[in-house]
Amino acid sequence: MNDYLSVSAMGLITPIGNGKAETAGNLFKGCQSGFRSRDDLIPKRKVLVGEAMGEIPGLPAEFAKWDCRNNRMMAVALEQIRPHLERAIARYGNSRIGVILGTSTSGIAEGEAAFAQRVKTGEWPQAFDYAQQEAGGLSEFVKAFLGLAGPAYTIATACSSSAKVFGAARRLIRLGLVDAAIVGGADSLCRMTPSGFTALGAVSAKPANPFSRNRDGITIGEAAAVFLLEKEPGEIVFMGIGETSDAHHISAPEPEGTGAESAMRAALRDAGCGAGDIAYVNLHGTATPLNDVMEGRAVHQIFGADTPCSSTKAMTGHTLGAAGACEAAFLWLTLSQHHNPGRLLPPHLWDEAQDGGIAPLRLTGPGESFPAQKTVAMLSNSFAFGGSNVALVLGTAAS
């Protein structure tokens, strides 16, 4: 019998919604309303970004040293599942719940603003605390915010960060170090990432157009998503994970997609299923020339041209260190009978201009659905700088 972990609760805030109901509605109809043109992120230039929807309140005074947008977004996601978390704490104890989260920017935006003030006035802002921009601050904040006493750490491997947390949490549970874990990730908009990707010539002036011959780069977004993993039975389960490292190039993917393919095959083995059991693949799909060719080749090698696929980054932008968790949350919503009673698949938004250099994939259109059956498995890809590759498999528990 498979020892799948239940993904018993999920909260999120993204450019297409704040909370499960709003996000699900916008996800399945194909929404791009979260994109905004900003002129305060790159000097003397406007850039299109995906902004998280809804109100993001400040943190209570006792958490002032962690009060940055990244942690505020995570707090919004946590509050959506607060009752589930409190029940877990009551059941397992506050020392038996781990916290493993992913980020790449942490509170860098607050650090940027603080440094700008220091340059201008010679003084750091009184409210600024370096802990706001430490990568590890995200998990330390959540541990303090929930009053937990178990292990807590952050994974920062760029765009694979918050996908890797699932494997790390499962190891802690299997080792008996914790009984449950809070996993996920957050990344907020700041100046560093748009400037850096612009320097690489990788930022598009339009919403991302993945797998099109007209694709010209990423759109950057922000998001936070959080999950509760536990051994108790649940509707949606974490089935498997595959992790590989190319070590091919600091920013370019290995062109043949061998590492990406190996990660997907490892995830399928870990989940105990075959390619034919996967009902949908959430593609990494950055809309950069090199990634889409590589990923198309790797996905086609395993799934052929018949398995439904889409990149949801055309709706959210690339949420960087939060991408793995954000897109795992989209799988969760797709698998949920309550939030997706029509079994709809996230549509692939693009200009439908086929690129003959990309292996053929079955990119989903609006209104497509997956068949009703007792168990369903879906896979999500996350690939990062340095060749860090992760594939996750989530599914529904057998009835």
> Could you give the residue numbers annotated as active site?
159, 284, 318
Give Dmax over CA atoms of the chain in angstroms.
64
Nearest alpha carbon to residue 183 among 238, 229, 222, 230: 229
> What distances in angstroms separate CA 254 from CA 137, 247, 291, one per listed residue?
32, 8, 9
Distance CA 279, CA 381 (A): 14
Number of CB atoms found within 10 A of residue 289's CB: 16
Coil/strand/helix, residue 73? helix
Of the candidates 13, 136, 9, which has an alpha carbon nearest to the alpha carbon of residue 73?
Answer: 13
Separation CA 146–CA 364 (nearest Å): 39
Q: Which of 223, 11, 187 is nearest to 102 (CA)?
A: 187
CA distance 215 to 381: 19
The neighbour count for residue 134, using CB atoms within 10 Å, is 17
SS3 of 58, please?
Answer: coil
198, 47 Cβ separation under 8 angstroms: yes
Residue type, 36: R
